[in-house]
Structure 1
Amino acid sequence: MHFQLENLTRKFGTNTAVDRVTLDIPSGQMVGIIGRSGAGKSTLLRMINRLVDPSEGSIRFGEMEVSTLTGAPLRRWHRDCAMIFQQFNLVPRLDVLTNVLLGRLNHRSTALSVLGLFTREERLMAIAALERLGIEQAALQPAGTLSGGQQQRVAIARALMQAPNMVLADEPIASLDPLNAKIVMDALREINEREGITVITNLHTLDTARNYCERIIGMAKGQVVFDGTPNELDADAVRRIYGSEHGGIDEAMTSTSISLPDAASGSTKTSAGQIRWATGTA
């Protein structure tokens, strides 16, 4: 089913955070949204998930008008459109397994949710999700004792427990080191490819967007200024997205690539994602 945004706008007083965004996203795409801080990326995702209501425009998923949902239908949308946050949003004092099981709350009755009663099948599902993310050994640890990269993997496992049709990730690797960033992005890509689930993620590194996303959307001042493939994201497109007042963008400054020493030559090998527009090398 196609996911469609039409003239989607969000205003905060006199400030327009998202300005008449129109997009058509086929089911199963992995989409990266890039742009400067304040470009409207997070607000756009929060409107899609209906954590923030649009000021104008519409959000449609197939035949469903998402932007007008209320009550139980809205709760079902929150279940079907899983959200992964930069801050993880786990309950630190609860163990990892329980945090993952919380992803089933919108599939259950209110009484069972209040009592915290999870079935054996749900517990097996949660363990399988943790195994898939390589974090099963921490199942009984309090979530607050884990590293940032581990907590983000727990958050992804919790999202999988929702059995969503779409996964939204708001800067999921912004606070992670390069190795954990790779693990998290590999996990999101695997979910997209294995389940065919649409993944839309905000990213702050150009090499990550190119390496993981089949479609990249660039935003500036609340508007979409680029929509294309990684190969189409050239120097002119980067300048439209980030501005050119500083004389060009050095992509190495925003890279999550890991540089490893070359044992044979003693030099350092850098991933192909680290391209310097400022010098014109590729």
Structure 2
Amino acid sequence: MKFELRNVTRRFGDRVAVDAVNVEIPQGQMVGIIGRSGAGKSTLLRMINRLQEPSSGSIHFGGLEVSSLKGAGLRNWQRDCAMIFQQFNLVPRLDVMTNVLLGRLNHRSTTMSLLSIFTRDERIMAIAALERLGIEQTALQPAGTLSGGQQQRVAIARALMQAPKMLLADEPIASLDPLNAKIVMDALRDINEREGITVVTNLHTLDTARSYCERIIGMADGRVVFDGPPRELTASAVREIYGSDKDGAGIDETMTSTSLKPARRAEAAPSAMIAETAVMR
């Protein structure tokens, strides 16, 4: 099913955060949205999930007008369009298993949700999601005791429990080190490829977008200024998205790189590398 944004605009007073965006995304694509801070990336994703309302324009998924949904229809859309946040949005005092099970709330009756009664099948689903992300051993730990990379993987497991048709990720690796960033992006790509779920993710690094996304959308001042495959993201396209530095030179992509640097890692002591791997897990 095709997803569409039709002339979608969002204003905050006199400021236009998203300016007349028109985008079509076929089912099963993995799309990266890039741009400077304040370009409108997060606002766009929040409108797709209906956490913020468009000032004008409309949002469609298949034959459904998402932007007009209310009540149960809106709750169903927010179930089908799962959202992963930069700051994880877990409940720190609850254990990992319960945080993951919370992804089933919109699939259950109000009574069962209020009583936190989860079925055996739901618990099996939660463990399977954690195993898929390599963190099943954390199931009984309070979520707040985990590393940032582990918490983001818990958030992805919770999103999987929603059985979504579309997955949005708002800067999912912005606060992670390169190794955990790779684990999280590998997980998102695996979900996209194995389940055929549309994944739309905001990214602040060009190399990540090029490596993981089959399509890149570049935003500047609330407008879409680039939309195409990674091979078409030329230096001039990057300059249009990010502008130039104070001397008029183009953006140096290495300044935003998250790539691992094998040479530097080879110089590290073996014990340090083992410790880093242990922390990552």
TM bucket, shorter chain: over 0.9
CA distance in structure 2 between the partners assigned to 1:139 and 1:232 by the alignment: 43
- For 1:258, the aligned partner's letter is L
Whichever residue aligns with residue 190 of structure 2, its letter is E
Displacement, 1:248?
Answer: 1.1
Q: How far, CA to CA, are the matches of 2:6 and 2:186 in structure 1?
A: 31
Distance 1:141 1:133 in 2: 16
Q: Which of 238, 263, 266 in structure 2 is aligned with 1:261?
A: 263
Alignment of 1:1-282 (within 5 A): 1-246=1-246, 247-261=249-263
Measured after TM superposition, the shift of residue 261 of structure 1 is: 2.4
Instruction: Give deviations 1:160-188, integer Å, cap 9, x for gaps.
Output: 00000000000000000000000000000
Whole-Å Cα distance in 2 between the matches of residues 262 and 42 of structure 1? 34
CA deviation profile, 1:16-43 (whole Å, cap 9, x unmatched): 0000000000000000000000000000
User: For each residue in 1:108-130, what CA deviation from the matched residue of structure 2 results, as whole angstroms up to 9, or x when unmatched?
Assistant: 00000000000000000000000
Report deviation, 1:260: 1.3
Aligned-pair CA distance for 1:244: 1.6
Task: For 1:134 and 1:115, locate their aligned partners in 2 and report how far apart those are by CA, in whole Å.
Answer: 29
Structure 1: gaps spanning 5 or more residues? 269-282
Normalized per residue, the structure richer in helix is: 2
Q: Distance in 2 between matches of 1:261 and 1:73?
A: 52
The one-letter code sitting in structure 2 at the alignment partner of 1:230 is P
TM-score by length of 1: 0.93
Distance 2:257 2:152 in 1: 19
- Structure 2 Cα separation of the partners of residues 67 and 24 of structure 1: 15
Task: Indicate if the aligned counterparts of 2:245 and 2:251 stay in contact, CA closer than 8 A.
Answer: no
What letter is aligned with 1:141? Q
Pick closer, same or farther for the CA change 1:262–1:87 going to 2, 3 Å.
Answer: closer
| Amino acid paired to 1:254 | T
TM-score by length of 2: 0.93
State the alpha-carbon separation in 1 of the partners of residues 13 and 68 from structure 2: 21
What's the offset of the Cα at 1:245? 3.8
Runs (4 or more) in structure 1 with deviation over 2 Å come to: none
**1:181-213: per-residue Cα shift (whole Å, max 9, x none)?**
000000000000000000000000000000000
Q: 2:210 and 2:201 mapped to 1: Cα distance?
A: 12
In the aligned structure 2, how far is the partner of 1:245 from the partner of 1:221? 16
In 1: Cα distance, 2:241 partner to 2:14 partner: 23
Counterpart CA distance in 2 for 1:220 and 1:207 is 18
Q: How far off its partner does 1:49 sit? A: 0.1
CA distance in 2, matches of 1:52, 1:262: 43
CA spacing shift, 1:262–1:178, aligned 2, 3 Å = closer
Pairwise CA RMSD of aligned residues?
Answer: 1.1
